[in-house]
Amino acid sequence: MQTAEIQDQQISYYPIRLDVFEGPLDLLLHLIQKDEMDICDVSIADITDQYINYINVMEELDLDVASEFLVMGATLLQIKSQSLLPSPKANEKQSKVFKDREQLVRQLLEYKQFKEMTRALDQRALSRELIHERPVNFELADQREFHIRATLFDLITAFQQLEDRHQFELDDDYYEELHEEPITVEEKIDFVERILESGEPVNFTDLFPIHANKAEKIVTFLAILELIRLKHITSIQSGHFTEIYLQKRNTDTI
């Protein structure tokens, strides 16, 4: 077949048809319905020519033609040629053609049925959009997962345990240092906020560097308390006396 000829023919034949078909069955169904043919009485010869022409146009236009389209084209050509070629065993040939055709028709009918179901289902989704439910409260959803919000008492307990863990000793020197400590609460607030930026819960103790001195730990703790007070973060626990996690509050929820 000469490409140029087909292209000319196509341009007049399918002037604006450039829909992307979901698959070879979708294309076949379209061709059949366009000609108002009954699927069961479809003329394979007719439809094969149209189908092959369409594939050629798609290729001419550099559209990506999925391999399934080509397989279907081959199947159609086979059924068409089998029905045209003379065969020494006429009966055998007839039954083979009949069977292939029958299978294709069955596949088309089933596909058409699902296309219709898809449209009806889509209609249900449109009706569904007209009714509104109470919006999900994200903060509540978080609490449900973690059960309870850690109280100030829980936080202080966790802070004390942190000190035990790091075997910290209180003495006057450290109080001195607090005044000279270059890290400010503001800086720590920024640090904690950046760590919690992703929205993932972070373990309370992970916010305290192991080698941090007393002053830095206190500043970190004050920063956490301030962020909770400002409602920028929330402290959550799966139960009393369990690990405390800190999480950025969803800004969308008030």
Partner 1 sequence: MAQQINTTTKEAPPDQLKSILEAILFVSSETITIEQFCQIIDGASSKQIKGELAKLTKEYQESGRSFQLTEIANGYQITTHPEYHDWVSKFHTKQVRIKLTPAALEALAIVAYKQPVTRADVEAVRGVNSDSVLNSLLEKGLIGISRRTPDSGRSFQFETTDQFLDQFGLKNLSDLPSAEEIQQFLLTN
Residues in touch with partner 1 (CB under 8 A): 22-26, 66, 68, 72, 107, 110-111, 114-125, 127-137, 144, 147
CA dihedral 114, 117, 123, 129 (to 10 degrees): -80
Contact status, residue 173 vs residue 181, Cβ threshold 8 Å: no
CB 84 → partner 1: shortest distance, Å? 24
Tokens of 128: 């569904």
Contact status, residue 208 vs residue 217, Cβ threshold 8 Å: yes
Bridge partners, 149 (sequence order): 236
CB 25 → partner 1: shortest distance, Å? 4
CB closer to partner 1, 45 vs 117 = 117
CB 138 → partner 1: shortest distance, Å? 10
CB 152 → partner 1: shortest distance, Å? 23
CB atoms within 10 A of CB 73: 19
CB closer to partner 1, 107 vs 205 = 107
The whole-angstrom separation of Cα 196 and Cα 202 is: 7
Question: Residue 92, CB half-sphere, CA atoms under 13 Å: how many?
Answer: 4
CA distances (Å), origin 95, targets 48, 74, 89, 98? 20, 19, 10, 5
Contact status, residue 75 vs residue 100, Cβ threshold 8 Å: yes
CB closer to partner 1, 149 vs 232 = 149
CB 115 → partner 1: shortest distance, Å? 7
CB closer to partner 1, 89 vs 132 = 132
CB closer to partner 1, 131 vs 254 = 131
CB 219 → partner 1: shortest distance, Å? 36
The whole-angstrom separation of Cα 50 and Cα 87 is: 26
CB closer to partner 1, 74 vs 117 = 117
